[in-house]
Amino acid sequence: MGLMNRKITIGFILISILILTNSCTIKYNLTGASIAPEVKTVSIQYFENRAPLGIANLGQMLTDELKDKFKSQTSLTVVSDMGHLNFEGEITAYNPNQPVAIQGDETAAQNRFTITVRVKFTNEKDPKLNFDSSFSRYKDWDSSKDISSEEEKLVEEILELIIEDVFNKAVVNW
């Protein structure tokens, strides 16, 4: 009889937990994003490259990858007009050749490739989360290699890091 009562009690507890977790309104996902239920749309304006250097399609790459991040990591609808969340900004720095590891003969063993992006974020539903910030990330590369053969891969890696930072600041609230 004791074993049967324990099974019933455990079953009752499990059913209670299921009911409680299904009635919660907070959404959690693997990205850690915490987006209010009333936020349904996001707009991402074109990020123009205002840096003196940069590959021709850098602004489009950044814009498209930020849109892809929101499409794949949230349930928000990407819209062209102003969304409940809005991103706009510009690429302000593109520096592929900053020496960082100087050798004994005063040549650089490594160079640092840095990209900086200014982002203005507007949250229509919760304006206290708005920000206007610069995000800068870099990757070091072996100076014995030709930058033209490394540039595309490095740009993709750096943009991925910047987009992760922007996403985290906007919807993970770090």
In this prediction, residue 104 has a pLDDT band, given cuts at 50, 70 and 90, of low
Question: What confidence score (pLDDT) does residue 26 get?
Answer: 41
17 occurs within a structural domain: no
Question: What confidence score (pLDDT) does residue 126 get?
Answer: 92
Q: For the chain, how many structural domains are there in total?
A: 1
136 occurs within a structural domain: yes
Question: What confidence score (pLDDT) does residue 51 get?
Answer: 92
In this prediction, residue 27 has a pLDDT band, given cuts at 50, 70 and 90, of very low
Q: What is the largest CA-CA distance in the chain?
A: 85
The mean pLDDT value for 108-116 works out to: 87
Question: What confidence score (pLDDT) does residue 147 get?
Answer: 80
The mean pLDDT value for 17-23 works out to: 52
Residue 148: is it exposed, middle or buried by C-beta count within 10 angstroms (0-12/13-18/19+)?
exposed
In this prediction, residue 24 has a pLDDT band, given cuts at 50, 70 and 90, of very low
42 - beta bridge partners?
Answer: 78, 85
pLDDT higher than 50, residue 171: yes
DSSP per-residue codes, 120-133: EEEESS-GGG-EEE
74 occurs within a structural domain: yes
88 occurs within a structural domain: yes
Question: What confidence score (pLDDT) does residue 90 get?
Answer: 97
pLDDT tens digits along 64-91: 999 999 999 999 999 999 999 999 999 9
19 occurs within a structural domain: no
Nearest CA to 43 among 17, 66, 14?
Answer: 66
DSSP per-residue codes, 43-67: EE---EE-SSS--TTHHHHHHHHHH
Q: What is the CATH number of the domain that holds 72?
A: 3.30.160.150
Residue 36 vs residue 120, higher pLDDT = 120
In this prediction, residue 56 has a pLDDT band, given cuts at 50, 70 and 90, of confident
Residue 111 vs residue 62, higher pLDDT = 62
The mean pLDDT value for 126-153 works out to: 90
Q: What is the mean pLDDT of the chain?
A: 84
- Which domain, by its residues, includes 85? 32-172
